[in-house]
Amino acid sequence: MSKARKNPASRARATVWTAERVDAVCVRHAAGTFLKHACALEGGTYDGLVDAMARDPEIAAKVAKAHAEGVELLRKRKDSAMPGDDDWKKYAWDLERFDREAFAPPTSKVESKNEHTGKDGAPLLIMTPEDMAAAAARKAGSE
């Protein structure tokens, strides 16, 4: 989940996140609805909920519990797909987007990092223009 926004007062009208509204969002989220859409269906915004979660640990705990229940529901749907049936792909896709940190492929979790090494894993030699000129002079002298 993301952190509270830097300037929460920038909205024209803030949504009041009552216990009833939070509970309704949590019920929808636990049923597999993405949090952003659950907020919209209950008349709020995702950013507003994130702000409320930052202010109130009880709201954050309710949303985290609903998220875990939603993940479990989607995981069970994926696992219950019949062998040979491609329905599991649909549920896996939902699961990857519902909880990217846990289920997305590794390439989308972290930045790719390329490392280059020399022969047999030795570090690469970085030559400055002066080094290259000296090497060329040594090569010319040895010929």
Domain membership of residue 65 (yes or no) is yes
Residue 99, domain extent: 8-112
What is the spatial distance between Cα 38 and Cα 32, in angstroms, rounded to a whole number? 9
Q: At which residue do the structure tokens 């940190």 appear? A: 101
Domain membership of residue 2 (yes or no) is no
Domain membership of residue 53 (yes or no) is yes
Taking the model in full, what pTM does it have?
0.61
pLDDT attached to residue 80? 82
Domain membership of residue 139 (yes or no) is no
Q: Spell out the SS3 assignment of the chain.
A: CCCCCCCHHHCCCCCCCCHHHHHHHHHHHHCCCCHHHHHHHCCCCHHHHHHHHHHCHHHHHHHHHHHHHHHHHHHHHHHCCCCCCCHHHHHHHHHHHHCHHHHCCHHHHCCCCCCCCCHHHCCCCCCCHHHHHHHHHHHHHHC
Number of domains in the chain: 1
Q: Give one word for 127, left, alpha or beta, with left for phi > 0 and alpha for psi -120 to 50.
A: beta
Domain membership of residue 63 (yes or no) is yes
Domain with 69 in it: what CATH number? 1.10.10
pLDDT attached to residue 6? 54
Domain membership of residue 133 (yes or no) is no
What is the spatial distance between Cα 140 and Cα 143, in angstroms, rounded to a whole number? 5
Domain membership of residue 119 (yes or no) is no
What is the spatial distance between Cα 135 and Cα 138, in angstroms, rounded to a whole number? 5
Per-residue pLDDT of the chain (143 residues; tens, 9 = 90+): 555 555 555 454 566 899 999 999 999 999 989 999 999 999 999 999 999 999 999 999 999 999 999 989 888 888 887 777 777 788 788 888 888 888 877 764 455 566 677 778 787 777 788 888 888 888 888 76
Domain membership of residue 22 (yes or no) is yes
